[in-house]
Structure 1
Amino acid sequence: MESKEQAAARYGSKGKAGTYLEVLAVSTKLGLTSFGGPVAHIGYFHNEYIRRRKWMDERSYADLVALCQFLPGPASSQVGIGIGVIRGGLVGGLIAWLGFTLPSVVALVLFALLLQGMDLGNAGWIHGLKLVAVAIVAHAILGMGQKLAPDRSRATLAIAAASIALLWQSVFSQVGIIVAAGLFGLWMYRKAETPEVTDLNIPVKRGVALFCLVLFAALLAALPLLRQGAVGGWLPLFDSFYRSGSLVFGGGHVVLPLLEREVVPAGWVNKEDFLAGYGAAQAVPGPLFTFAAFLGTLAGGISGAVIATAAIFLPAFLLIIGTLPFWNAMRRNPKVQGALVGINAAVVGILLAALYDPLWTTTILSPADFAMAAVFFLMLVFWKLPPWVIVIAGALGGTLLTLI
């Protein structure tokens, strides 16, 4: 538990309420503008939380991203929750998640209720926002690469990780790359002088963290047994979405086959509506896991949306809160730091691979697309315009491309 002095240092002159409002404002802005999927979100977070507001240093952010890449669940959402916890405690983590997630939840519930027939996935302004995401991710990779893969050995490791991620695409590839990179870093940098790590004050007791990890495992084991005796009600829905959120490595797209196996055979959603909802989820900002809100609405109305959304994100909360206090201590260990050197370089490679596939391959479809993405990169990196200006330019530019 934080002392009064630690709490005063954390919240400063703004106090708790001011810090919570700040976290809510920033995370909501990200929730309204972060198009492009998990890798793009990490880029948006990097630009907003690290470059602009300096809530964490580059090394700490990279360590947090590495941890969330390793854990099952929505990595970008876990990064956001982790930053919220570090900034404002458990309440800060909840607020950061709400701000980032609620805009797309509301949009997808509305799609499910009113707008299922609209093909927004092919709208020009949506395509323009995806071009912005390419520029944002490229900017983030450039910055992280300069910090985390600045020499020959780490740059080689990053390129190797990117190549393996592109050539070996499975649910286990990301975890395998990170484990291998950690072992390589442990061997390669075991005698290297390790840089001093900033001590992050994480206001979560280890007892609370252990409780979260035990609760995660208990729910994963008990819910399938409990639902067998349930006739209707919310428990089967909660179990299906909780398990889907618990067993996913590699980001939001990987959860789709799990969700389809849960909701289509059960008769909650037909296959056509499932695919239509997936298209809508691609068209809105924020985490792809909010697709659960669309499915929950079709399965059980507004209450179904609340249950499905809470269930699919609950594992992410329990895992990040359960691991942060131990991770903060482990990352100061010289051996763990050596492993993290390798892991952080590999994370740069994984992000580079994701920049190409799926972001580049599904977005840069013509010379005009490339030219516009290059202009957005110029605006962001060299003109140093704020991201919201580039988002507006992207929406206008994408609409203009459809008229040419």
Structure 2
Amino acid sequence: MEKKDADLQHEPRSKAQSLLEVLTVSAKLGLTSFGGPIAHLGYFHNEYIRRRRWMDERSYADLVALCQLLPGPASSQVGIGIGVIRAGLLGGLTAWLGFTLPSVVALVLFAFLLQGFDIGGAGWIHGLKIVAVAIVAQAILGMGQKLTPDRSRATIAILVASATLLWQTAFSQVLFIAASGMIGMVLYRRTAVPEASRLSVPVSRRTAVLCLAVFFGLLILLPLLRNMVAVDWIAVFDSFYRSGSLVFGGGHVVLPLLEREVVPTGWVGEADFLAGYGAAQAVPGPLFTFAGYLGAMMGGVSGAVLATAAIFLPAFLLIVGALPFWNSWRRSAKVQGALAGINAAVVGILLAALYDPLWTTAILAPADFALVSILFAMLVFWKLPPWVIVITGAMGGTLIALV
């Protein structure tokens, strides 16, 4: 156990150094993490766990499972959680800024400069979709070997993957995760809990409870305040906060929620909304940064800042509210049994996402399959860094479009 703990980088030399380190690594991910929330987990695993060993495999899997249970952008919450564990609340905020800011800036520039251009069919964008297929396939391979090592968990993963493909609603994934957790609790309730490195979470339970109270308080009070006071920024904050609070099942689910908030009200036209959606597919980072584009269309830079802060605030409040209770949950045999089932379900959801929407939208011809095979080999066998894969995929997509 001591050797395992020694392998993990728990103790940076100073607070300032740790914050700078978090900012540097998260900004790198923010500039290179293409492919949506599922692919982001693969990028995070490669950078935070494989390369830097800021957390052990089991802890990362448990954090992913926790974030899958919470509403909001799971990949952003995983990044925030890692930042909090590494460098406290400021570390969580820094990790979020680094991961989010590059795509927000890019989408605001799209709003200002590229509103009338159709880039949805560009070859390099299609290449980035193929990159996402390779990244997710690598994540499934690695996580599947660790999280579904026996027949029971492999069966849970396959059943969840099948059910996810056959019943696609905003709440179906939450139901499958909850059901898998209960099954795991029953199957593994008598299994000895392996000793795990105790991660120091520099957030008190009092702070956690306060964050949860603020989350629910804003969710209830903002709509009431909006109806009482005719102030534009309150209405905008309420719309984006509620959209960020009610998303289950991945970042793409936020798009119809936002469409119902901004198009009927006349804040953003339908054509501009669809143009922004195309731009959001082309940039790295979380899909929730689409809010930055919408905010810029509505109110310039200040609108982008307001919309982005409002849609991500629920994610920050929820993950900070849950983390201080994490270590006690991990030491419970029943909770660990539930997490074993949940982790298997996460693999199943990843497997389903590999097919739909990633495979069905990216692998459309034999040339696409050839490119994704090459990218997968570069990742798994040649161990090349993700940025090389991203550049190769974009170039390959451009060549495919030309031939």
Normalised by the size of structure 1, how large is the TM-score?
A: 0.96
Cα-to-partner distance string for 1:127-164 (whole Å, 9 max, x where unaligned) = 11221111111111101000010111111111011011
Unaligned runs of 5+ in 2: 1-7
2:55 pairs with 1:56: yes
How many angstroms apart in 1 are the aligned matches of 2:305 and 2:177?
34
- Partner in structure 2 of residue 190 of structure 1: 189
2:291 pairs with 1:297: no
Unaligned runs of 5+ in 1: 1-8
How many angstroms apart in 2 are the aligned matches of 1:20 and 1:195?
31
- Where does 1:57-136 land on structure 2 (aligned, <5 Å)? 57-136=56-135
Q: Indicate the SS of the match to 1:269.
A: coil
- Identity value in percent: 74
**Maintained 8 Å contact 1:44/1:137:** no
Q: CA deviation at 1:330?
A: 1.0
How many angstroms apart in 1 are the aligned matches of 2:12 and 2:236?
44
- Partner in structure 1 of residue 208 of structure 2: 209
Letter in 2 for 1:272: A
How many angstroms apart in 2 are the aligned matches of 1:379 and 1:399?
19
How many angstroms apart in 2 are the aligned matches of 1:254 and 1:164?
18
State the 4+ residue runs in structure 1 displaced beyond 6 angstroms: none
How many angstroms apart in 2 are the aligned matches of 1:22 and 1:10?
12
- Partner in structure 2 of residue 6 of structure 1: none
How many angstroms apart in 2 are the aligned matches of 1:81 and 1:302?
24
Q: CA deviation at 1:10?
A: 7.5
- Where does 1:230-269 land on structure 2 (aligned, <5 Å)? 230-269=229-268
- Where does 1:385-404 land on structure 2 (aligned, <5 Å)? 385-404=384-403
- Partner in structure 1 of residue 36 of structure 2: 37
- Where does 1:316-355 land on structure 2 (aligned, <5 Å)? 316-355=315-354
Q: Indicate the SS of the match to 1:122.
A: coil
How many angstroms apart in 1 are the aligned matches of 2:66 and 2:293?
29
Q: Indicate the SS of the match to 1:234.
A: helix
- Partner in structure 1 of residue 362 of structure 2: 363
Q: CA deviation at 1:84?
A: 0.8
Q: CA deviation at 1:25?
A: 1.1
Cα gap change, 1:11/1:69 in structure 2, threshold over 3 Å: closer, same or farther? closer
Letter in 2 for 1:100: F
2:386 pairs with 1:373: no
Q: Which moved more, 1:9-18 or 1:266-275?
A: 9-18
Report the number of matched residues.
Answer: 396
Letter in 1 for 2:276: G
Q: Indicate the SS of the match to 2:13.
A: helix
How many angstroms apart in 1 are the aligned matches of 2:9 and 2:393?
36
Q: CA deviation at 1:11?
A: 6.8
Q: CA deviation at 1:12?
A: 3.7
Report the RMSD for the aligned CA atoms in angstroms: 1.3
How many angstroms apart in 1 are the aligned matches of 2:231 and 2:61?
44
Q: Which moved more, 1:143-152 or 1:17-26?
A: 17-26
Q: CA deviation at 1:120?
A: 2.2
**Maintained 8 Å contact 1:10/1:87:** no
**Maintained 8 Å contact 2:12/2:18:** no
How many angstroms apart in 1 are the aligned matches of 2:342 and 2:12?
37
